[in-house]
Structure 1
Amino acid sequence: MEIASSFGSFGSSASATGTPEQSDFVTFLQMLTTQMQNQDPLNPQSASDFAVQLATFAGVEQQTYTNQLLASMLGQTGLADLGGWVGMEARIYGGAHFDGTPIALTPDPALGAEAVTLIVRDEEGRIVDSRTLDPQAQSYSWDGRDSEGALLPPGTYSFEIDSTLDGETLDTQPVAAYVPILEARYENGMTLLVLPGGLYVDSSQVTGLRRPEAEPAN
């Protein structure tokens, strides 16, 4: 009975955390207690038999923990591989943080477009800039100024291009930007890249990498 009491206190601690492995452990203790309460008093099960049952369960529990640890290590290996990305520039969609430094864009106009317009929106989705681009341009450095030429405040801005032919819109697509990678971080099973302005992006969303010194021409 002393053994059952000692296991019972451990089971209460495990139950508080609520993980699947600990829940299974509590179930095992309940079964063990029930078995002890209902055994034949004239032919009780030996302590060694109980020890074997506990050791078997502990072995299974340890194997489960080992598998989880290996899965975590595999995730961390991916993180180590991405460590070489820190300091480089990632090509991503969805916007970029402007802090006074021009943002390198990679417009991709619709095939056959005779006119292309870059549209810039602020964090509220309002259009703050609209300017004409060369339909053949594959790179562009946005200087952070609005349609009136005034410098915009620091913040996150998103970009899109409107391609037209004979005054008719052919296509409107988001524009990717090259942004510096400040840090690689592993969270909730995902490897996240930390970008300027407190922005995060899943590493799987990166569509290109380059060294910072490779700046696009206007």
Structure 2
Amino acid sequence: MLEHLAHIQETAETIAILDALGSLAETARLFNYTRPVLNETRNLFIREGRHPVLDQNLTGGERFVPNDITLEPEESRLILITGPNMAGKSTYLRMTALLTLMAQIGSYLPVASAEIGLVDRIFTRIGASDDLARGQSTFMVEMNETALILNNATERSLVILDEIGRGTSTFDGLSIAWSVAEHIHDKVGARALFATHYHEITALAQSRSAVK
């Protein structure tokens, strides 16, 4: 048995890959998914994109409302998203990350059309939670995760940020969120979606052409 362990593991891995690819293909067939266009640009264009999980799990006759996404280096590299609670900001962020990941693993997508420039990493900072075991408050966890993104993202990365600065006072939170958005645009150059309740940050679009 031991002498065949390597072959058994290799066979199991191959079966797992085939199972995953078969599942992606069957899902694409059942729900009429569309083949995305992948290229080496830094563009991300999605027309009538739907969340791949919520789209099939809504009940009571509800229908997922498709959304468009346009990210391109020179004109709309960083998108600021504002709106009331329960308006769908976080769902929009998650949908973008999921569709990008699905495209890069070879899956068809729940979209009308999609052109996605390859990304080297997808960074997300969504939600709020503390880490009591390590003695870290919600704000500390948020700042550590944000710092990791800022220190490791490149111009080929996709960065998803939801409500940066929520774990502290309004004034401090606004300052942090503003600085993070500035740094991503000016220094990192990554494609980014930035959801926030701080409407003042939208002023960045007046001084930076690639902020929308």
- What TM-score comes out, normalization by structure 2 length? 0.22
- What TM-score comes out, normalization by structure 1 length? 0.21
Whose strand proportion is higher, 1 or 2?
Answer: 1
